[in-house]
Amino acid sequence: MTASPRTAPATTPATAPTTAPATAPATAHRAKVSVVVIGYDDAAHVADAVRSALAQGDAVREVIAVDDCSTDGSAALLDTLAAGEPRLRVIHRAVNSGGCGSPRNDGIDAAGAPYVMFLDSDDVLPPGAVDALLGTAEAHGVQVTAGLCVRRELPSGREIPWERALYAGPAVLPHPSRRPRLAHDTLCVNKLYRTDFLREHGIRFPVGHYPYEDCVFTARVLAAAPRVALIPDTVYVWHVRRDAERLSISLDRSDISNWRARTEANREAYEILLNAGEKRLARAVRAKFLDHDLRMYTRELELRTAGYRRAWWDHTRAYLSAFDAADLTLNPSAPGRLIARVLLASPAPRDLPRLRELAARPARLLPPYARASDGTPVWSSDLPQVTLEHFLERPAHLLPAAVDAELRVRARGTRLRLRLHELYGRMAEAGPVAVDVVFTRREDGHEGPRSEARLLADRYGDLWTATTPVELSALEPGTWDLRLNLRFRDGTGREVTAHAVGGSGLLRRRAVPDVRHGVRSVLLVQPYRTHAGSLALRTASGWRGMTEVLRRRLGRLLH
């Protein structure tokens, strides 16, 4: 999703306009949807976005393209498209707004159809999206219909569903509070809205330069208590271009102002819902912040400068201090809540590697495992107020188990060594017996060869180890994430990722024979540590693949 540039906020109104299978069947008179496409300086992609909206068929009465004072030829390109397409209208803003909210508000004002939805200039609507949303909205008479959004990583094409569980099956909700998880889906683009509902309730986006405007808009929608329908269809494709010259707001997190903007949007969303009497939804807004936002930024904290880390720590502590005790203690074993409790207990940044691992998905709690003088598990001996006694009661298959992984790449054979740590006696109680090992290709989820290894306890009873061979030649070129499933004595299991250990000697590139392509071929293998501290692999086949990997790495360094 592309945001407008960081210019001075402006609220100058726009100039006048110039020239999957459906979940439920659409009604006879189909032209009932206005699709609002917003963009700024995105000539490379905006035509694809517009065409994807027009290709939805006759359910779309009009596509309203709002150009936010582009300087790269986008405006002329849209005018050319409109000249040959009567359903396309173009609105040219006189002054750049500095954000996404004002252009979307222009679209709401201009919409002439009973329903409206939003599309960013660098994303697309998949075939059948509007039919699926409109058919359900008409069949159930709801004000808001929402479907699944997928994040498509480019250029790899890997797709990651957004809030998959929320859209696991169809549902009709008479009130948003029936499904508090709705507050976690802060996107506005995977939803179809009754136009008169937005206008009657005065629901608008924040204007000017307001990052994360979706969060506030979504809160305003939920506060108006619409009937909501959910469908499992994929209705929006969010393109994630991490190598773009201008990163989207959600990807450009290197400046502390981005974090401040995110916390401000979360704060305003919470207050909107609380003031509307929707306490369950307001609490869900804070839960989403702890489980998603806080964990994401914590994983990246070690990558930032000392000045950024200090400013982030101070700002986050100040923001969390306004939370109710129940926000942090309702589910005290949740990783985001534990991170928040450590932050509040410490006035200065500390334990960043350990917090990074706790923020991973699934979470890992690395040693040391301290206890207070009375034996209560605690975060550390100097932070005894951050207690961990809840870990003594949770089932073992839900605990943040910590597994270390070392991958020793050798021409004569590669072996993976794993170490499972004890956790306040709970691992020994559960009795780990084996671990299933698989490398999964990040681009498409394809699984490489699986292996199983027995877990053996050491003499002290606080570690279990396993070693298994890895057939690197069976891994095709790509990026591979290590996935593990711990198996316990009672038949239960725990899916985990592994903490990458070892210095540069274990994480450097190596060339090994590629038996798939002959004795003269090589496979370039690079074990590496992800931002969350997990072990992963990059592989490239042949000398040409090696050259391409090196070229991309050099490009990232120069960028």
> What is the pLDDT, as a whole number, of residue 275?
98
The answer on 149 and 176 residing in a single domain is yes
Which of 344, 364, 393 is the last residue in one of the domains?
393
Is residue 128's pLDDT more than 90?
yes
Which of 363, 378, 393 is the last residue in one of the domains?
393
Is residue 13 in a domain?
A: no
Is residue 515's pLDDT more than 50?
yes
How far from 400 is each of 333, 438, 480, CA to CA, in Å?
Answer: 9, 19, 22
The answer on 342 and 463 residing in a single domain is no
> What is the pLDDT, as a whole number, of residue 462?
87
* Mean pLDDT, the chain, whole residue set: 89
- How many domains in the chain? 3
The answer on 341 and 444 residing in a single domain is no
Is residue 517's pLDDT more than 70?
no
The residue range of the domain holding 174 is 33-247
Tell me if the bond preceding 347 is cis, omega within 30° of 0.
no
The answer on 425 and 533 residing in a single domain is yes
> What is the pLDDT, as a whole number, of residue 242?
66
Section 58-69 average pLDDT: 97
> What is the pLDDT, as a whole number, of residue 192?
98
Is residue 3 in a domain?
A: no
Distance CA 242, CA 126 (A): 21
Range of lowest pLDDT (7-16, 173-182, 398-407, 425-434): 7-16
The answer on 226 and 83 residing in a single domain is yes
The answer on 224 and 162 residing in a single domain is yes
Distance CA 44, CA 268 (A): 34
> What is the pLDDT, as a whole number, of residue 542?
64
Query: Which CATH number covers residue 166?
Result: 3.90.550.10
For residue 178, name the pLDDT band (cuts at 50, 70, 90).
Answer: very high
Residue 523, C-beta contacts closer than 8 angstroms, at least 6 positions apart: 472, 473, 475, 511, 512, 513, 514, 539, 540, 541
Section 416-426 average pLDDT: 96
For the stretch 378-383, contacts whose Cβ atoms lie closer than 8 Å and that sit 24 or more positions apart, written own/partner, are 379/338, 379/341, 379/342, 379/345, 379/351, 380/351, 383/342, 383/345, 383/346
Is residue 8 in a domain?
A: no
Taking the model in full, what pTM does it have?
0.88
Is residue 519 in a domain?
A: yes
Is residue 9 in a domain?
A: no
pLDDT > 90: percent of the chain: 75
> What is the pLDDT, as a whole number, of residue 3?
46
Is residue 21 in a domain?
A: no
The answer on 446 and 330 residing in a single domain is no
Q: Residue 64 pairs with which residues in a beta bridge?
A: 36, 89
pLDDT in tens, 4-33: 443 333 434 444 333 343 444 444 457 999
Which of 247, 282, 310 is the last residue in one of the domains?
247
pLDDT > 70: percent of the chain: 86
Section 363-383 average pLDDT: 96
Section 265-272 average pLDDT: 98
The answer on 313 and 404 residing in a single domain is no
Strand positions, DSSP E, 266-422: 370-371, 377-378, 403-408, 414-421
The answer on 404 and 352 residing in a single domain is no
The answer on 531 and 458 residing in a single domain is yes
The answer on 96 and 38 residing in a single domain is yes
> What is the pLDDT, as a whole number, of residue 551?
57
> What is the pLDDT, as a whole number, of residue 333?
77
The answer on 278 and 231 residing in a single domain is no
